[in-house]
Every structure is written in structure tokens, then in C-alpha cells.
Structure 1
């Protein structure tokens, strides 16, 4: 019996894998892509689409790729605002000391990496409290700018008022007195002005800038030296710091190539009632919707095509007599636009009719109800 079973096993043929047609078989040479035979510029162009982590991983593939990745042409962005492996979902987050030290170590390694690659920066994004004397973030950014090629830097996105991450015990033991706050603010402003001075010398070609601004005469003077600016967004620094009308007018008149301007200005209560004049031959887009209490008495913007303005209630209660006394100083926004913006086409994302200058119509009146502070468009005791 056992002999017959063995015989059957010997006779049975093993199961065979189906053979592919000869035409569909891939040769080993077909799996080889001669990337290294491409011109170096083409190889760099392909690698430029990778993120920073993948670029570093490419350096481990082979010696030739390692040499490619060291090229300054692949390192055009310094982005300290990204969180890499941390995946934190908030800005200005308080973290443990251990987590903060990990992030701080990454910041310093990242800076060293950019310097060793001799990066040629086009973009710089960062969020550091420049008044922090302990961690010396201001010195770190200054060191970076002194040791990379940044003459062609065109985009600056800088928050110099707080650090992206802070250790938890730093806030627990910190003083919250108004005197200490004032000292901290001055440290921040001084360090910001030092950095801005360095930027004027090292990065004269910046065309797009987004940063917090203190509106001091010194800062305005430094900012006006960036004559290539085309896009500018100035955010709040200290809500108790007012902006004089002459300061705002000086800034816009001194930037001849400025096309887009976004302003975050909060007019202090003590200055309630003042109005502003804005003058520029180049501005085509103006967004003052993040501002509060910003009223224009005159606009001289011959190139303006789009305006965004929003009336934001701050919860101030005024009696009728006081309110009318303040509002009597302000012209209606419609008249300001009609006289000073001959090319205006869009107001608060709404396309205006070609005949809007001749006569106000219903839709435009509704827009003005949301953006104008005059007596006609704001009749409320709550401001």
C-alpha cells in the first residue's frame, strides 16, 4: 500500500507557476533609470521638488546624490515656523522642558545645516521673541544672515513678539507687572530694529514682507529703505501704541513699488476721533479689515482696484452727543472713495457697477453699512 502511494507522488507533476509571454518580461536593464546621466542642473531641478527631510534622505543613497544635496541651489527656504516631527497644532504653545529642549536643538541644528550648505535664501519664515535674553534668538537670526547668501531674499515672514514654543516653567515663574511688560516690549523693539537694520544691508531686494510692527519713527524709517517692496502686511505689536496719521502717510508715500498693503491697526480710545490720509501712486490692493477704529478722511490712491474695510464693534458705549461730536469730523467713505480712487472695482469682495461714482445703489449702500463710520452708516450707541 505504501509503495503505491509513493509511486503516485512520484508520478504527479508539481504545480508550476504560469509563464509570462516573452514580450512582457522585463529585463534587468529596464529597471535602471540613468538619473546620474542627466545634466547636473536637471538633477537639481528634480530634487528641488522634495521637502527638506527627503532631500536629506537622498544624501544617503549614494555619493553623487550626497554631493548634489550639498548644493546651495537646493536650500532656498529657511522655515523656522515648521514643526517637523513635533506635529504641534497651535502657535505659542507651552510645552515641557524636555520638549522645548528638543525643539531648541532642532532650531540650532537647522541653522547650522543651512550655513554649512551655504544656502542661498529666497524665503525666511520665523517666530521668535527677539527680546528673550536667555535663548538669544535675535543673535541666532543675525548669525544666520551673516553666514548664508541672502542678497536675493525676497520673502520675509517674521513674528518677533513670541517664540513658537516656550517651556512651561518659563511662564509659571515670570513676572506679569506692567513695568516688567514695558521693559520686555522695549527689549523686543530694540532687537527688532537691530535685525531690521541688518536686513536693510544684507537683504535689500525683499519684495514681500509680513511682520508685526511697532510704528516708531525709527522702525518706519528702516522699513522705507526696502524700496523693492511690493506686498506688505503689518500686524499688531502693542495695542496701547497709537499710529499718528503723518506716520502712516509717510510710510505709504515712501514705498514707490508697493502694490498690496494690509494693515492691522487698533486706534486707542484716547485717539478716538482722529482720521487718516493715505497716499500712494502704486497701491492696487488695500486691506484694512483687520483694523479697528481706522477711519479715512482722504484717500489719494489713483491705482487702487480693490479695497477691504470692515467696521468692528469694540464694545464701547457712547452717549449720542459724544458720538455725533466725533462722527461729525468724519466724511462718508463713499465720498472718500469717489474722490480718491478712480480705478476702484471691488469693495469687500463685491464687484462694483461701472456707474457707482455717479450714484450709490442698494448693494453698495449695504456694503458701506458694514464698513463706514459716518453718521449715515453708523447710528448706534455701541461702538
Structure 2
């Protein structure tokens, strides 16, 4: 983006934001300030893309960013672009005749710098930039520029030529746009290193699973390192339901789960370089076996898939033992509370960050994580049978952490004092009253 300001001596300055790079676009909206000067802003479609916030990522999730929840929310609202802008005096930007230029001389940059500049654009900006001139189009067909694929960032809008108001028709245009972009990527054949996929693979009319299968068959996923794989729903799809009863919903959940298992089996045989994986998980024997193939995995976010699908202790042990390099784990499990309550044990020799705060009804019996330095937990009973707390004897969270995580430094947003192993000081006691479910810290009658 390029704006003009006057310095202390009346000299004009050029403000460049290298990571937004709005100045690369030929078509933009014009906005006139009160003083008569003119600024350039992107379209509403582009603003929608930049404001898209992902649920879990290395930038906005507290577990991975080492920030509190309040800090993450504050930063996500106040920051749209990373990095500080560079302010250059116009005297520093001159042409061959030693005259001050009004714009940055992008065409005079070396080839390597031009390619570096284009790496800061998302796929929508790259598509718009390819329409500027032939030189930019020839530069942007380089497969290396398309290694980051954000399939779900297309806006839910139609072209002005489409004269309709129904949301279902708009979604058909959105679906067509996604498939056309996927076919273009298959023509380029880039080695995909970062893939963001948020589509329902069980919807036969949308056929989103075909995109992943084509990437897999063409060898585009062999270098995949970061995979955000939300395969159970399409957030951009308008809500409507063709299923009339509970049996249809259960059948659809199982059908989608079978498709996931077959694809995940093929994926883990090819994309063995995955280091960061975010996905809903079905906790089947085959899925756990496939997950343990990813020996380079160091960050794992597991969301619940179906509320009626429980997690077995032996599968949890098999997963933790099969991932020797796992450093960060976010585990979301919904376990029913009631007389059949079974606390879990988590063991890992490599885990440093553990978050079970999104789980419901997940209680810990024991921990064996000597390297863990940060732990997040919340007391969230599932909507199961109501049971009096005095009828269930759960271990105290403090004793569990003391025996199984001696290297712990942070519990939720509270930094532990050095003496936490010797005694429970007042601040730690207040934290335990919020998160612990033992008889000492849990007040009230219902679990």
C-alpha cells in the first residue's frame, strides 16, 4: 500500500508496507480524505480475506503463541498485518535522470527480489496481479510461488453478472471458484508445503475430496509440512439440512468418517514430512495407526468429530508412544460424565505443551510428562448424567501435576512460583478451585 505524507520540512514521504503490497494492484477503490489527498484501499472482497481468523494456528492460539487468551483476542483485533512499515523519503527513490519518482520502481528490481515480493501475496492477490501485465504473469506462473495454498479463503460472493439473490446459488459459485483454483494448481504442479483445507468431504454434491485426491496422485503433497485439515464441515456453506431424523445424521457421520479413514491412510504414506497437523479425529484403530506414521510431527491439534465416539485409553497410549517427536498437543475430547466415568492417563517423553481445556468430561488420573512446561485445563462437564461430586473420587490435579510434570512452569495463564512443589500457595489454590474436580477444590453438587 502506498500513501503520501508531509514531513517536518514539507517533504513528501512514501509509506510502503511490504507485506500487504497493495501498491501492486492496478484496480483499487479510491478514497478521498477530508484534506483532499487520495488513498488507495482494496476491495471488500480482499478485506474479507484479510480479516479471516482461523481457530487454531501458530499465531492466534494461546498454546502455540505463549500468550494468554485476552492477549490473543486483543492482538487479533488490532493487527491485520505483521511487520513495521518502511518510511522512505522520495529523494531516496530516483530514476536515471535523478528525478524523484511518485511510485516505487518495481520493474527495475532484480528477478530474485521480484519473486520475493510476490511471496507476500495471498492467492487472490496473485490472481489479480497476473492481470496487470505480461511480465507479472510470467513471473507468477512459477510453481514455487504457490507452495502455500489457502483453499477456504475465497469470499462467499458472486460476480456482478450473476443476477440472483438466493444463498444456495451463491454457494454454487463459491464451489465452482474453489474447484477452478484447484485445477489451476494441478496444472502448475507446485510442491505444496502449507495447506489449509476446510470443507466437508462427505458432501457428494460438493466433491471436495476430489481436490485432495488429485493433489495426492499428482505428488503435490510430498513436501507438505503444515496441514490444517477440517474435513467434517464447510464453514462457508449456508445452513440447510436435507436430513430428517437422527438416524440419517448418524449415517452421514459414519459415511464421512469412512472417507476420512481411507484418505488419511493414503496421505500418511506419502506426506511423511508433516510437522504441524490440525484435524478432527475419529479415534479408530486404523486412524491412530496412520497417525503414528508421521514421525516428524511436533504440533498436533485434535478436535472432536462426533460426540458419541469415545476415546479409549489404549488408543491414546498407542498414539503418544508412536509420536516420539511430539512437542505440542491440543486435545479435544467429549467424554460423558456419570457413574461410568473413567479418568485418563497421559504419558509422553517429548511433550512440552499440553492443552485439554477444550475437552468436556475429560479427567486425569495420572500424568507422566517430565518435559512439560505449560499445561492448560478447564473444568467443563459434558451433558451426561448428573452425579453428586461426593460419589466420585477423582485425584487432585495438584498431586497429578506434582508427580507427573515436575518441570511445569505455567498452569493456564498463571506462572508457577518456584515453591509450588513444596506447598500450595494462595494464588495457586484459587486456580485449582477453578480447574480441579477433586472433593477438596470442587464445590457444588453436580460433576
Cα pair distance change 1:270/1:223, threshold 3 Å:
farther
SS in 1 for 2:367: strand
Once residues 385 and 155 of structure 2 are traced to their aligned partners in structure 1, the CA distance between those partners, rounded to angstroms, is 47
Contact 1:307 1:346 in 2 (8 A): yes
Which residue is 2:137 aligned to?
66
Once residues 319 and 266 of structure 2 are traced to their aligned partners in structure 1, the CA distance between those partners, rounded to angstroms, is 20
Which residue is 2:399 aligned to?
335
1:134 to 2:196 alignment: no
SS in 2 for 1:86: coil
1:244 to 2:315 alignment: no
CA displacement, residues 244-289 of structure 1 (integer Å, 9 cap, x when unaligned): 1221122112111111100111102467421111111111100101
SS in 2 for 1:105: helix
Which residue is 2:174 aligned to?
103
Partner of residue 120 from structure 2, selected from 19, 41, 49: 49
Q: Give matches, 1:167-186, under 5 Å.
A: 171=241, 174-186=242-254
Partner of residue 391 from structure 2, selected from 325, 328, 344: 325
Query: 1:318 deviation in Å?
Result: 4.2
Contact 1:142 1:198 in 2 (8 A): no
Which residue is 1:145 aligned to?
216
Structure having the higher helix fraction is 1
Which residue is 2:343 aligned to?
275
Which residue is 1:82 aligned to?
153
Which residue is 2:282 aligned to?
214
Once residues 212 and 79 of structure 1 are traced to their aligned partners in structure 2, the CA distance between those partners, rounded to angstroms, is 18
Q: CA RMSD in A?
A: 2.4
Q: Give matches, 1:28-47, under 5 Å.
A: 29=97, 30=99, 31=101, 35=106, 38-47=109-118
Once residues 66 and 183 of structure 1 are traced to their aligned partners in structure 2, the CA distance between those partners, rounded to angstroms, is 47
Q: Structure 1-normalised TM-score? A: 0.83
**Number of corresponding residues:** 345
CA displacement, residues 109-162 of structure 1 (integer Å, 9 cap, x when unaligned): 110121122222111111221112233221222113323532221111111111
Contact 2:269 2:293 in 1 (8 A): no
Contact 2:366 2:404 in 1 (8 A): yes
Query: 1:56 deviation in Å?
Result: 2.3
CA displacement, residues 23-68 of structure 1 (integer Å, 9 cap, x when unaligned): 9xx8785559765564433221111112223322332333332211
Which residue is 2:196 aligned to?
125
Once residues 270 and 135 of structure 2 are traced to their aligned partners in structure 1, the CA distance between those partners, rounded to angstroms, is 33
Once residues 201 and 397 of structure 2 are traced to their aligned partners in structure 1, the CA distance between those partners, rounded to angstroms, is 39
Bigger CA radius of gyration: 1
Contact 1:317 1:382 in 2 (8 A): no
SS in 2 for 1:299: strand
- Tell which deviates more after alignment, 310-319 or 116-125: 310-319
Which residue is 2:49 aligned to?
none
Unaligned runs of 5+ in 2: 1-90, 159-165
Cα pair distance change 1:83/1:235, threshold 3 Å:
same
Cα pair distance change 1:130/1:297, threshold 3 Å:
same
Once residues 170 and 95 of structure 2 are traced to their aligned partners in structure 1, the CA distance between those partners, rounded to angstroms, is 51
Cα pair distance change 1:369/1:27, threshold 3 Å:
closer
Cα pair distance change 1:111/1:315, threshold 3 Å:
closer
Contact 2:304 2:333 in 1 (8 A): yes
Unaligned runs of 5+ in 1: 1-22, 88-94
Query: 1:331 deviation in Å?
Result: 1.4
Query: 1:371 deviation in Å?
Result: 1.3
1:194 to 2:262 alignment: yes
Once residues 297 and 226 of structure 2 are traced to their aligned partners in structure 1, the CA distance between those partners, rounded to angstroms, is 10
Q: Structure 2-normalised TM-score? A: 0.72
Partner of residue 331 from structure 2, selected from 263, 267, 272: 263
Query: 1:103 deviation in Å?
Result: 0.3
Partner of residue 362 from structure 1, selected from 416, 426, 432: 426
Which residue is 1:347 aligned to?
411
SS in 2 for 1:81: helix
Which residue is 1:166 aligned to?
237
